[in-house]
Amino acid sequence: MQYGATKSDFTRILMKWNRHENKRQMPWKGQQDPYRIWLSEIILQQTRVEQGLKYYEIFLHSFPDVYALAEAPEKKVFKLWEGLGYYNRCRNLIETAKKIVFDYGGDFPRTYEQIRELKGVGPYTAAAIASFAFNLPYAVLDGNVLRLLSRYFGINTPTGSSQGKQLYSELATALLDKRNPGLYNQAIMDFGAVVCKPRNPLCIQCAQSADCVAYQKGWVHELPVKERKIEKKSRWLYYFLVETRDHRIYIRRRDENDIWKNLYEFILWESAREISDNQVGNLPFLKKLFAGRKFVIRTISAAFRQQLTHQIIHARFISISIQQPLPGIKGYQLVKKNSVREYPFSRMMVSYLKHAEIS
């Protein structure tokens, strides 16, 4: 440790800042109801607070307690989650709500170990719930905390490496105020969010700057060190909105273990590369799909793009008219065009539906 500071200095200054200067307000802050804490933490995983806030309020209004969530139709839950992304979180939310109701009689588990066993709950989320709801001494370690600790202590070990994970975990635990773990955890996350920000940190105003290694050595914009980014693969998805004469469209629910599981989609053909508009009408896929029946391509959308964790999705939407329903199209159902928005779709498809004014 440099500049004469100690770990206790860091904690003391942080808690003082929290008492006198921390003005950050959020609806779940200070909350001790484990259901509400869990709900907010799952929604905020890989999501900006500004975006997650409205979803938290919607979910809490629709499902005020774990019983309401456990008993809700999955289609409704996914529809409310629509646009938030990372849909595996929604599946875990549903599964965990049912487990709490049926295995724990509606009472949220009260130990870190039991909380950690819940689906979708990692070390950070478990520590947050344990400390905020039950005042248990477990330190949170999210992106805000990692950035703050890396800069303050001048740590250049990559945060995602096995060595980094152990180092930061031990350091976070050593700094934790064991008497007020919930208050401390909220304080350190707030400090990282509003003072030690990723860009344009408030170093001049920072209560910890006198002993911050990165600030004193000019390393602020070099820390934390992250591991090399994973190269993302690209996928081209072609969606066919096949509409019958009585204004019904084919959709299906995605059940395979792939992106957007449990969400709905139109008739899909995936290509290894982008194809031109002129090639669309001659695709062997379409010839097999319609088996000699007449069809009319009405519109072909521009390309939509969505970046996921490990892949980049490119999609185009082709609107097609047919006179009679297609016989035996496995896995798909016909729904009225004006009711299609009642079903949960991926963010990309929601964008297209809005663009095409399909409601």
* CA separation for the pair 46, 128 (Å, rounded): 15
Identity of residue 209: S
* CA separation for the pair 125, 116 (Å, rounded): 8
Q: Do 317 and 193 fall within a single domain?
A: no
User: How many C-beta atoms surround the C-beta of residue 237 within 10 A?
Assistant: 21
Of 194, 222, 250, which residue is a domain's last?
222
Q: What is the DSSP letter of 296?
A: E
Active site residues: 41
Q: How far is CA 228 from CA 11, 91, 158, 165, 254, in A?
A: 31, 29, 9, 15, 32
State the pLDDT at residue 74.
94
Whether 345 and 263 have beta carbons less than 8 Å apart is answered as yes
Give residue for tokens 């299609």.
340
> Long-range contacts made by residues 119-126, C-beta under 8 angstroms, separation at least 24?
119/92, 119/95, 120/42, 120/88, 120/89, 120/92, 120/93, 120/95, 120/96, 121/38, 121/96, 123/169, 125/38, 125/41, 125/42, 125/45
Query: Residue 287 sits in which domain range?
Result: 233-355
Is the bond leading into 325 cis (omega within 30 degrees of zero)?
no
Tens digit of pLDDT at every position of the chain (359 positions) = 444 456 789 999 999 999 999 998 888 888 889 999 999 999 998 888 888 999 999 999 999 999 999 999 999 999 999 988 889 999 999 999 999 999 999 999 999 999 999 999 999 999 999 999 999 999 999 999 999 999 999 999 999 899 999 999 999 999 999 999 999 999 999 999 999 999 999 999 999 999 999 999 999 999 999 877 777 889 999 999 999 999 999 999 998 889 999 999 999 999 989 999 989 988 999 989 998 889 999 999 999 999 888 899 999 999 999 988 888 788 899 999 999 999 999 999 999 998 887 76
Give residue for tokens 């920072």.
206
* Overall number of domains in the chain: 2
Q: How far is CA 352 from CA 12, 150, 256, 260, 347, in A?
A: 52, 41, 23, 16, 9
Q: Is residue 2 part of a domain?
A: no
Q: Do 48 and 14 fall within a single domain?
A: yes
State the pLDDT at residue 3.
43
Q: Is residue 1 part of a domain?
A: no
Q: Do 123 and 12 fall within a single domain?
A: yes
Q: Do 122 and 70 fall within a single domain?
A: yes
Q: Do 260 and 184 fall within a single domain?
A: no
Q: Which residues are CB-neighbours of 326 under 8 A, at least 6 positions away? A: 242, 250, 289, 290, 293
One DSSP character per residue, 5-69 reads --HHHHHHHHHHHHHHT-----TTTT---HHHHHHHHHHHTTS-HHHHHHHHHHHHHH-SSHHHH
Q: What is the DSSP letter of 198?
A: S
Q: Is residue 132 part of a domain?
A: yes
Q: Do 202 and 276 fall within a single domain?
A: no
Q: Do 243 and 329 fall within a single domain?
A: yes
State the pLDDT at residue 2.
46
Q: Do 287 and 323 fall within a single domain?
A: yes
Which of 120, 122, 127 lies closest to 98, judged by CA? 120
Q: Is residue 228 part of a domain?
A: no
Q: In CATH, what number is assigned to the domain containing residue 294?
A: 3.90.79.10
Q: Do 102 and 155 fall within a single domain?
A: yes
Q: Is residue 227 part of a domain?
A: no
What's the sign of the alpha-carbon dihedral 21, 23, 24, 26? positive
What's the sign of the alpha-carbon dihedral 340, 343, 349, 351? positive
State the pLDDT at residue 5.
57
Q: Is residue 184 part of a domain?
A: yes
Q: In CATH, what number is assigned to the domain containing residue 94?
A: 1.10.340.30
Q: Do 243 and 181 fall within a single domain?
A: no
In a 3-state reduction of DSSP, which class is residue 131? helix
Q: Is residue 201 part of a domain?
A: yes
Give residue for tokens 């979180």.
89
Of 173, 189, 222, which residue is a domain's last?
222
Q: Where are the beta strands (DSSP E) in the chain?
A: 233-243, 248-253, 264-265, 267-271, 295-300, 304-307, 311-322, 333-336
State the pLDDT at residue 359.
62
Whether 136 and 179 have beta carbons less than 8 Å apart is answered as no
* CA separation for the pair 164, 152 (Å, rounded): 15
Predicted TM-score (pTM) of this structure: 0.82
Of 169, 188, 222, which residue is a domain's last?
222
Q: Is residue 23 part of a domain?
A: yes
User: How many C-beta atoms surround the C-beta of residue 6 within 10 A?
Assistant: 10
Dihedrals φ, ψ of 185, to 5°? -60, -40
Q: Do 184 and 305 fall within a single domain?
A: no
Q: Do 202 and 72 fall within a single domain?
A: yes
Please return the burial class of 130, using the count of CB atoms within 10 Å of its CB with bins 0-12, 13-18 and 19+: buried
